[in-house]
Amino acid sequence: MSRLTTNSSKRLGTTFFNRSTLTVAQELLGKFLVRRIRRKTISVMITETEAYCGPSDLASHASRGRTKRTEVMFGPPGHAYIYLIYGMYHCFNIVTEKEDYPAAVLIRAIDAEGVNGPGKLCRYFQINRSLNNEDLTASKKLWLEDRKVKVKPSQIKCFPRIGIDYAGSYKNKLWRFVLSP
């Protein structure tokens, strides 16, 4: 997907993440995930997200209550929530909404060939649990930028989330968002 961008970029701040999870999940499409590893910086546009909307969302880890694992989700917006699935794949989420309301957006895919799915994304960016609870609004290791990519509402496609068959009626929510050309 080629997108026109301007030379200006702006780091996303707390205000961006302190909003409705569904809004943030859609508005992250076209934003850039930036990772600095030593002297190298990787920066790629986000093309797919999934929203996890609070304690009543049966697909969310927070639906099981506040635990050591989910504590980050109850924290301030704009922090990284990173966990391991199947004992081998990391997943990178961004905490949204107000503090003490556990909600987050999973970053599923970016505009890089062969990097589709949260595990591949984390490998590509070298994201692991060492970055859990990283403040993405101030970090020098991992952050998000707005580079003024124009995303039209018609380019955002909504689908059911993936891998949550256990979530009752929540498995059918159209809370996965994909940026289409």
Give the domain CATH number at 52: 3.10.300.10
CA–CA distances in Å: residue 4 to residues 1, 8, 116, 150, 151 = 10, 12, 22, 8, 10
> What pTM was estimated for this model as a whole?
0.93
Res 6 pLDDT > 70? no
Residue 157 has pLDDT above 60, yes or no: yes
Look up the domain containing 102 and give its range: 10-179
Domain assignment present for 2: no
Residue 108 lies in a domain: yes
137-156 pLDDT, tens digit per residue, is: 999 999 999 999 999 999 99
Radius of gyration of the chain (CA): 15
3-class DSSP state of 143: strand
Asked whether residue 45 is assigned to any structural domain, the reply reads yes
Sorted by sequence, the CB contacts under 8 Å of residue 134 that are 6+ apart come out as 79, 80, 141, 142
Residue 167 has pLDDT above 70, yes or no: yes
Residue 116 has pLDDT above 90, yes or no: no
Q: For 10-29, what is each residue's pLDDT tens digit? A: 999 999 999 999 999 999 99
The Cα 134–Cα 144 span in angstroms is 12
How many domains are there within the chain?
A: 1
Flag whether 4 is in a domain: no
Closest CA to 79 of 105, 53, 43, 60: 105
| Count of beta carbons in the 10 Å neighbourhood of residue 45 | 21
Separation of alpha carbons 93 and 107, rounded Å: 6
- Identify whether 5 is part of a domain: no
Tell me the average pLDDT of the chain: 94
